[in-house]
Amino acid sequence: MSDRPSAPSGGHNTRHPTGIRVVLAILALATLVLGPAGYLMGVRASAHDGSAAEWFTLAFGAAVGLPFLAAAVATVAGDRRAALWSLALLVWPIVFVTVIHLSGRGG
């Protein structure tokens, strides 16, 4: 028995698989870009850049919240493989925080 919901005709629910993958790709791209950018701006924040807390909130929301959102969207769409790849993006914050601090860009 498949974990995917069945369509009215008895087949798989594949009405818009390309659309779901496009949405997930956009969320993944936002995760990969906004997480490190927000964290780097938070580390380098000074009086004229804004609050470091705002930048860290952006980084956390992008690096952790967006993969969970993508996994939820993929799960509702019935795409288990895409949901697992979305959850794999949760390793990304460990990678970019380590790289930023080891490269000396972390302040």
Q: What is the pLDDT along the chain (107 residues), one digit of tens a residue?
A: 455 555 555 555 556 788 899 999 999 999 999 999 999 999 888 766 668 889 999 999 999 999 999 999 999 998 899 999 999 999 999 999 999 999 987 66
Q: C-alpha 53: how far from its chain's center? A: 20
User: For 94, left (φ over 0), alpha (ψ -120 to 50), or beta?
Assistant: alpha
SS3 label, residue 107? coil
Q: C-alpha 84: how far from its chain's center? A: 12
Query: Measuring CA to CA, how many Å separate 36 from each of 31, 65, 87, 89?
Result: 8, 14, 17, 13
- 6 occurs within a structural domain: no
**Dihedral sign from CA coordinates of 56, 70, 29, 99:** positive
Residue 46 has what pLDDT?
73
Closest CA to 64 of 40, 100, 39: 39
Mean pLDDT of the chain: 85
From CA 41, how far away is CA 58, in angstroms rounded? 10
- 10 occurs within a structural domain: no
Domains contained in the chain, number: 1
Q: Domain span at residue 38?
A: 17-102
- 61 occurs within a structural domain: yes
Rounded to two decimals, the pTM is: 0.78
Residue 1 has what pLDDT?
46
- 9 occurs within a structural domain: no
Residue 45 has what pLDDT?
84
- 31 occurs within a structural domain: yes
From CA 56, how far away is CA 38, in angstroms rounded? 6
